[in-house]
Homo-oligomer: A and B are copies of this chain.
Amino acid sequence: IKNKNDSYSNRGMTLEEDLNLTNEYYRENNIAIIHKKPTPVQIVHVEYPKRSAAVIKEAYFKQASTTDYNGVYKGKYIDFEAKETKLSQSFPLKNFHEHQIKHISSVLKQNGISFVILRFTITEDIYLLEGDKLLTFWNRMLDGGRKSITIDEIKQYGHSISVGYHPRLDYIKVIEKIYSFN
Contacts of A58 in B (CB 8 A): 55-57
Minimal beta-carbon separation of A121 from chain B (angstroms): 23
Contacts of A175 in B (CB 8 A): none
A32-B110 contact given A38-B39, A39-B38, A54-B61, CB 8 Å threshold: yes
**Count of chain copies:** 2
Q: How far is the CA of A109 from the CA of B32 in the complex (A)?
A: 9
In the complex, per-residue mask of A51-69: 1 if CB is within 8 Å of any chain B CB, else 0: 0011111111110011000
Count of A residues near B, CB < 8 Å?
Answer: 40
Minimal beta-carbon separation of A145 from chain B (angstroms): 27
Contacts of A40 in B (CB 8 A): 38
Interface: A146 (CB within 8 A): no
Q: How far is the CA of A24 from the CA of B107 in the complex (A)?
A: 14
